[in-house]
């Protein structure tokens, strides 16, 4: 594991804990010698995390769409900023460049990225640790909803078990370092509910 994809809000949220934890994530990622891949924005938790990682010497690659870059959202101080034509291309490129995924609090864009990553794990397109950084309980309800979906017969238990949640960065990075990839060839055998 060398590169971590961070999904995060383009807003900062209403609690100082969100910004503090985004900053701490960026710093910790750099201290543990990971590079960072993310959506390339300069605003909100995205920008805070990128700035913190850069300040500690991490390489940070942003992937942003032409549409978003045109309204001056793109972070101009990154190690590398790639501009792509579509959101689909953006997500595929972030997946290609990363070994693990950490999701900070965010809105619909963050959720959509998170659930697509989980779906790609489920389908055996890749096998990556997918982590909800549960800052101040932000993801507790979403995690419970996902667990309820297992009980209701809509989400395979194996997929739910691939969604890791913690509010402790040390626990998160220990999980990443001990992660065992699954063989994508037998993905369909894991779909039993």
Percent of the residues in the chain that have a pLDDT greater than 90, as a whole number: 86
12 in helix, strand or coil? coil
Band the pLDDT of 80: cuts 50, 70, 90. very high
In the chain, DSSP finds a helix count (H) and a strand count (E) of 8, 7
Q: What is the pLDDT of residue 192?
A: 65
DSSP letter (8 states) at residue 71: T
53-62, 81-90, 127-136, 184-193: range with lowest mean pLDDT: 184-193
Task: Please say if the pLDDT value at position 88 is more than 60.
Answer: yes
Under 8 Å CB-to-CB from 146, ≥6 apart: which residues? 155, 160, 163
Which of these CATH numbers, 3.40.50.450, 3.40.50.300, 3.50.50.60, 2.60.410.10, describes 3-138+154-191? 3.40.50.450
d(CA 18, CA 188): 37
The Cα–Cα gap between 82 and 45 comes to 19
Rounded (5°) CA angle 114-9-19: 125
Q: In this predicted structure, what is the pLDDT of residue 53?
A: 98
**pLDDT tops 90 at residue 190:** no
Please report the sign of the dihedral spanned by the C-alpha atoms of residue 81, residue 82, residue 86, residue 87.
negative
pTM, 2 dp: 0.94
CA-based torsion, 136, 18, 82, 60: positive or negative: negative
Q: How confident is the model at residue 32 (pLDDT cuts 50, 70, 90)?
A: very high
Q: What burial class does residue 132 get, using C-beta atoms within 10 Å of its C-beta: 0-12 exposed, 13-18 middle, 19+ buried? A: buried
Distance CA 165, CA 133 (A): 6
């Amino acid at each position: 594991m060398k590169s971590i994809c961070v999904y995060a809000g383009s807003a900062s949220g209403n609690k100082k804990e969100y910004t503090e934890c985004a900053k701490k994530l960026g710093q910790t990622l750099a201290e543990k010698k990971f590079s960072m891949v993310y959506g390339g924005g300069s605003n909100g938790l995205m920008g805070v995390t990128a700035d913190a990682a850069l300040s500690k010497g991490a390489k940070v690659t942003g992937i942003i769409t032409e549409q978003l870059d045109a309204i001056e959202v793109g972070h101009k101080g990154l190690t590398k900023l790639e501009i792509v034509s579509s959101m689909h291309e953006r997500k595929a490129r972030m997946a290609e460049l990363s070994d693990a995924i950490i999701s900070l609090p965010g809105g619909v864009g963050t959720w959509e990225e998170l659930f697509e990553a989980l779906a790609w794990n489920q389908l055996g397109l890749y096998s990556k640790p997918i982590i909800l950084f549960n800052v101040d309980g932000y993801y507790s309800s979403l995690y419970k909803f996902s667990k309820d979906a297992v009980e209701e017969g809509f989400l395979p238990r194996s997929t739910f078990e691939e969604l890791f949640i913690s509010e402790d960065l040390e626990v998160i990075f220990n999980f990443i370092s001990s992660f065992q990839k699954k063989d994508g060839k037998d993905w369909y055998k894991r779909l039993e509910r």
